[in-house]
Structure 1
């Protein structure tokens, strides 16, 4: 039997085996995890300004916060002033567990243009930077470390060749082994997204191979908030992932922003709750389960975490 047909048959059997959950019940499930992009100016947030954010997290029944990075390029958000903000004000809150993002290189996608030999050296350097961040965080956070997040987002364009996939598998496996040694039993998460550059089945099988060789857990972004022309068939990609990967080896990420482009510049703005619900319904219809994480807290919190006095975040702002 064709692997794709077998995968879809397995998905159908899974859905038939759990008929009690209606589409409405599925799409109304609160996502227990939320991404947060810490920015330099967030260090100045007062306790009063944090209260509406805490209220939103409580209302949404969020249990786990995924910090997208602890260091962004040359900027550390864990040492000095950033250390105070992340550890004392946010991570010190015992209501939540945290999946800690490590080093984010703003030039990551530019570096993917390197030759395979050069890319191998770059990935090794990136891994060392990630492990250095984990070594800083572990002594202070202890049991609040639910897992680790590697910020290198894996797409369906830059890793199509098998040699490149092997480089990536070795890179991910190196970090998983080192992080497990540092914090035994803690999972390692990596984001992935699709832009329509590989067929859904080919993309899903790539994720499967990389997962089997490295042990990561995929966080699959749905891309519903990003402007793309042409727009890939989101449902087809999600169906392929659900039919190919074991359920415990991946989780869905629901985008709660919409990209707007004006004068060639992108900004990312919050969506309405009805739009968010419709996007969650797509997850339920395509995979039989709701997305378990939303991206991101910055949009959910509105002007407290986005541009002062505005409701969107400019792509050009970077870390500030």
Structure 2
């Protein structure tokens, strides 16, 4: 199988250091395996898209020497593909309409959705899917094998929202299949979602990629670096120093002579030396510059 990796940012703002670590890891794993590296813009939710952020993301990747292959994919242009997958799941009698709100589940852990047995009459409903009572094991290349019981630990989950937008779970599975993604290297904040994606892949007849989940980069308060937590945008004028820090976080310690070298030199060294086994399973210390 040809190696095809990907980086899939959400255009809700500029990339931060956590984004850089994920992008560098997926890029290096692809290049070290003589593979392709694709970029997908996950603009599935239009209200979350910040004007100008796509150009800013692409400029940032270019500045750090992370040049992608092929054409960009935009989830906002993929609605027909998601609808086709949804129809396939409907034909398998796995989908049902649900009028319950997210708040009902969040405020009451014992809340039992009545919609499966008593379909709602209104039109503004979400579409949910019921996973089987099985264990799904992901043999993660970074954190090792992890098992999740779908029915007990996940339960029914949304594949199309009430506003008719498709869920991330469905979209990412369809897009990975379309792009023939063989390896997914991403943050461990998405690990808990991986078993349900693997199950959807089996339902839709898709190949399951190899997964590797990176430890989360945190700020001084121990919070995951994210746009919601106001993580600082990458300072492009400091690209060599930031790239060196990203490599260090990934367990790829460059020689002192390369710490301030141009990004092209650092990446050339890192590709030849890349060892995913050296990626730590967790980050011990928060970063200091946010």
Q: TM-score by structure 1 length?
A: 0.30
Which structure: greater helix fraction?
1
Q: TM-score by structure 2 length?
A: 0.32
